[in-house]
Structure 1
Amino acid sequence: MEADEVNENTDREPTGETRNQKLQRNIGELLQELRVAQAGVQILFGFLLTVVFTPRFEDASGFEKGLHMAAVLLAVAATALLTAPAAWHRLLFRTGRRDEILRVGNRVVLVGFGCLAGAVTLTVALIAKVVFGTTALVATGGFVVLLFGLLWFVLPFRLPHDGQLPRHPADSASPRRGLTRKP
């Protein structure tokens, strides 16, 4: 074994994990998060695909059809972006490139979440337009953008980060149970 491999597998993180174990755990967590997000994308995408085959869609205005197409394209982008890290992991998992998969995958997933939020926003706004008119489109679209923006992109930075909430059970031990941190 090369010296780098020995250090990678024997150097311990503050969590007690080796660097390789931590990377493996982080990849697993990323892929699990993507499973949750992908379910929403699949449901939305399926709905968007079926809408064009309804009789009412033929009577939609050019603006409404344009909103629908934009929502479909954002759903396609979200699907591609949110599944890419899983494909990368499958292709590269034996090449020792977990660092790159995590670093780039994290960025791609964040863009994918943005596309998903956009697709949901346009879909809900389009529904509001068809049911209630243009004013409802603007109000509903604005509300949905605000909701996603706050919950997905603002609130996470407002969460406490003073060490009281462990990121992972292995990252710290509960003092109430008499456990101590691993060296």
Structure 2
Amino acid sequence: MTKFNLRGAIAAAALLAAGPALAAPKNPMVGGAAMYPTKTIVENTAQSKDHTTLVTAVKAAGLAETLSGPGPFTVFAPTNAAFAKLPAGTVDTLVKPENKAQLTNILTYHVVSGTMTSKDLAKAIKAGNGKATLTTVQGEPLTASMMGNRIMLTDAKGGMSHVTVADVKQSNGVIHVVDGVLMP
């Protein structure tokens, strides 16, 4: 083997060895399920055992088709435990056909157009001197701030929710799992 080929072989071996380290980070698991960046928000969320209430609500509001579309969307996805914090009977009432408009209003308040990663949110918070105002698809503002190293969201009624799992990449945006239901 010539000197040149030996160097090439060593360089190729080094790249192969470093390959996995250079790979893109994997999506976090959500609700015990793998989240695939090639699937839509609805497809992935439907696999999470922690988001069955959200999926039911999205279907009842007729938003599954929209959130399966090209987007991109940033969704602050409340867990089942977040919905359980609401007064008893709230979810059962909201998913009734006659309350579709109110349910849609609440759910679209959890969605921002475009893809905003946690890094984007942190940058906006820093640029806003500790607060970033996000305009939701519903139309009302949602305020993001930092609580330690966690992103905190404050809704129009003063309720707070924390991002518990950030940057779950989807084919049509990103999901941030939150521990509270945001109210417009």
* TM-score using structure 2 length: 0.30
Bigger helix share: 1
- Based on CA coordinates, which of the two structures has the bigger radius of gyration? 1
Bigger strand share: 2
* TM-score using structure 1 length: 0.30
